[in-house]
Amino acid sequence: MDIISIEDLSREFILKICKRASQIDEAEQRKERYNLRTKHPRKLATLFFEPSTRTQQSFKAAITELGGLHEGFSGTDTTSVSKKESIRDTIKMFEAFHFDAIVMRHKKDGSVQWAADVAKVPVINGGDGENEHPTQALLDLYTIYKQNKGSLDNVHIGLGGDLAHGRTVHSLSLALSKFKETTIYWSTEYELGMPEYLIKKLQSLGTKVIRKPSVAEVMKHVSVYYMTRPQLERMQGLLVDKIPALIEKYRIDMKKIEDLNGVILHPLPVNSELAEIEPDVFFSKKQGFYGQAENGVFVRKALLYTLLDETPHTSFDPHLSENLHTGNNRLQRNPGNHKTNMVVDTIDNGLVIDHLKKGKELFVADALQLVHKGYDRVLASISTKKTAFLKTNLPDISEREIRQVCLISPEPTISIIRDGKVIDKYVPLVCDNPNCITRDVFEDIPAKFYDDHGSICCRYCKHPYTIRSHKVSRDDQERYIKTLPEH
């Protein structure tokens, strides 16, 4: 089992983790600690491609207190894990070194799902880009569970800080919507409110979302107020001189929490310069975030215990499983539809890449290194047509080359010609989330999509994909979607 996204985890699993965390928590109060039952110490690989202190140290504390070991890296400057080694190879290396589980953080969305696909041992997402950070969500849930007397039903929570950009708030609110009678309060007094699409989604899941005129008003209705960091780097619309006033409005101070009958949570670290939480509040009994940090250890211990206790030691398998090899991103088109026009006739064997953006055909030819490798290239940009095409006697095109072509000009049509006939014709799709790991050509990750109620979503970053090319008919699309697995 892998832990990639909080949304993948069932209500039952979340409650099981909360219950186990609670047992571990109580044991700690009795000065007891659980140990993983196993013949040899279990080893956790901590692969932090992006530096981290809190998440990393919390995992290290967890595995260590369970009697296990850990190794890994934090940041890639002092290691040889550079841009030149693929995630796939890094994962296989750590498997070869007999790690029993992996926790990974990486700046690209979907990277950890790919690592989990490669690995035979459990992989836990320690944060993939702006995408997911499920153990943060789990520790938040456990903190609320504890505050809410051992339940996640009937939670009344306030959300604060940067509701527009923060991943934490997004994940947490969706996770709470798995439970009964959730009510989310937030204040409209500043610009960084909850996005409309998220409110709608939460409501569709049965969660009440209630706006209040001020933070102080929100406090009156909740037992937990979850504050988040301002994501200044993402507030591009804002004028710099408006920031102090904005921070002033949403900063948590003693006055705002006067009527709170509960605790303030925060994923930490608090930005000590902006001080989105006033220093005075740190001394209040309503400060709940230091305890929340400790809960992170209990939750991670509960997770590792669930994944590793009494499970057999996994022998290293030096082979890659076949299902990593191919994607499902080829939208087939009917070769029969193709008019064998004069231009194609001039090659008997090779390929045609059509529906390229005008002006991009030369870049595509260069990316394929046709001249260097000694193949023909015919580039055509016909004034009466909207797109350009490339024709070559290059016998085949690799997956990596297809990805390169798509990044230069999305949704090309590729036709394979043998003995003058089109024997295959398809449109390859590449996820269009610019931060998706599958767009890194050198990682060689076969693009995979799934069908989420009729919309095409990337297996890795989960972003929906919309087909743009007018050449792909509604029928073609529907036929393609039918080939995709459901999520």
Q: Which DSSP state fits 282?
A: G
Does 310 sit near a copy of itself (CB under 8 A)? no
Q: Which of 26, 248, 376, 478 binds a copy of itself (CB under 8 A)?
A: 248
Does 65 sit near a copy of itself (CB under 8 A)? yes
* Active-site option among 54, 180, 325, 358: 54
Task: For the chain, count helices (H), then strands (E).
Answer: 15, 18
Q: What Cα–Cα distance (Å) separates residue 186 from each residue in 74, 147, 173, 219?
A: 36, 19, 12, 9
Q: Which of 319, 339, 453, 482 binds a copy of itself (CB under 8 A)?
A: 319
- Rounded CA-CA distance 230/278 in Å is 14
Whichever of 208 and 316 has its CB closer to a copy of itself, that residue is 316
Q: Are 219 and 225 in contact (CB under 8 A)?
A: yes
Q: Which residue has the tokens 């998706």?
A: 436
* Both tokens assigned to 165: 């950009």
Backbone angles phi, psi at 171, to 5 degrees: -65, -45
Does 373 sit near a copy of itself (CB under 8 A)? yes
Whichever of 186 and 288 has its CB closer to a copy of itself, that residue is 288
Q: From the CB of 280, what's the least distance to a copy of itself, in Å?
A: 8
Q: Are 101 and 45 in contact (CB under 8 A)?
A: yes
Query: What part of residues 224-243 is at the interface with a copy of itself (CB under 8 A)?
Result: 241
* Both tokens assigned to 317: 């398998």
Q: From the CB of 197, what's the least distance to a copy of itself, in Å?
A: 30
Q: From the CB of 432, what's the least distance to a copy of itself, in Å?
A: 22
Q: Which of 202, 270, 307, 456 binds a copy of itself (CB under 8 A)?
A: 270
Q: Which of 1, 11, 37, 89 binds a copy of itself (CB under 8 A)?
A: 89
Does 268 sit near a copy of itself (CB under 8 A)? yes
* Active-site option among 70, 106, 133, 178: 133
Whichever of 196 and 396 has its CB closer to a copy of itself, that residue is 396
Query: What part of residues 405-464 is at the interface with a copy of itself (CB under 8 A)?
Result: 442-444
Q: Which of 233, 273, 310, 486 binds a copy of itself (CB under 8 A)?
A: 273
Does 324 sit near a copy of itself (CB under 8 A)? yes
Q: From the CB of 154, what's the least distance to a copy of itself, in Å?
A: 24
* Both tokens assigned to 382: 């016909």
Whichever of 94 and 426 has its CB closer to a copy of itself, that residue is 94
Count CB atoms within 10 A of the CB of residue 471.
16
Whichever of 75 and 359 has its CB closer to a copy of itself, that residue is 75
Does 279 sit near a copy of itself (CB under 8 A)? yes
Does 294 sit near a copy of itself (CB under 8 A)? yes
Query: Does the annotation mark 20 as catalytic?
Result: no
- Rounded CA-CA distance 467/24 in Å is 49
Query: Does the annotation mark 78 as catalytic?
Result: no
Q: What Cα–Cα distance (Å) separates residue 257 from each residue in 149, 214, 244, 335, 370?
A: 21, 11, 20, 67, 67
Does 254 sit near a copy of itself (CB under 8 A)? no
Q: Which stretch binds a copy of itself (CB under 8 A): 167-175, 202-210, 276-284, 410-418?
A: 276-284
Whichever of 25 and 361 has its CB closer to a copy of itself, that residue is 25
Sign of CA dihedral 286, 289, 290, 293: positive
Q: Are 165 and 234 in contact (CB under 8 A)?
A: yes
Does 207 sit near a copy of itself (CB under 8 A)? no
* Active-site option among 20, 70, 88, 105: 105
Q: Which stretch binds a copy of itself (CB under 8 A): 13-21, 269-277, 336-344, 461-469?
A: 269-277
C-alpha dihedral (274, 279, 280, 284), degrees to nearest 10: 110
Does 214 sit near a copy of itself (CB under 8 A)? no
Q: Which of 81, 252, 260, 405 binds a copy of itself (CB under 8 A)?
A: 81
Q: Do strands 263-265 and 224-227 pair parallel, antiparallel, or not at all (unpaired)?
A: parallel
Ordered alpha helix ranges (H), 212-354: 215-219, 243-250, 289-308, 342-345
Backbone angles phi, psi at 157, to 5 degrees: -125, 145
- Rounded CA-CA distance 146/144 in Å is 5
Q: What Cα–Cα distance (Å) separates residue 204 from each residue in 197, 208, 363?
A: 11, 9, 46
Q: Are 145 and 22 in contact (CB under 8 A)?
A: yes
Q: Which DSSP state fits 485?
A: P
Q: Which of 107, 208, 325, 386 binds a copy of itself (CB under 8 A)?
A: 325
Does 245 sit near a copy of itself (CB under 8 A)? yes
* Active-site option among 39, 84, 149, 285: 84
User: DSSP for 287-328?
Assistant: B-HHHHHHHHHHHHHHHHHHHHTTPPPPPP--SPPGGGT--S
Q: Which stretch binds a copy of itself (CB under 8 A): 191-199, 202-210, 265-273, 465-473?
A: 265-273
Whichever of 73 and 179 has its CB closer to a copy of itself, that residue is 73
Question: Is 113 exposed, middle or buried, given 0-12, 13-18 or 19+ CB atoms closer than 10 A?
Answer: buried
Whichever of 7 and 278 has its CB closer to a copy of itself, that residue is 278
Does 312 sit near a copy of itself (CB under 8 A)? yes
- The length of the chain is 487
Query: What part of residues 1-60 is at the interface with a copy of itself (CB under 8 A)?
Result: 28-29, 31, 33, 39-41, 43, 51-54, 57-58, 60
Query: Does the annotation mark 55 as catalytic?
Result: yes
Q: Which residues are tagged catalytic?
A: 54-55, 84, 105, 133
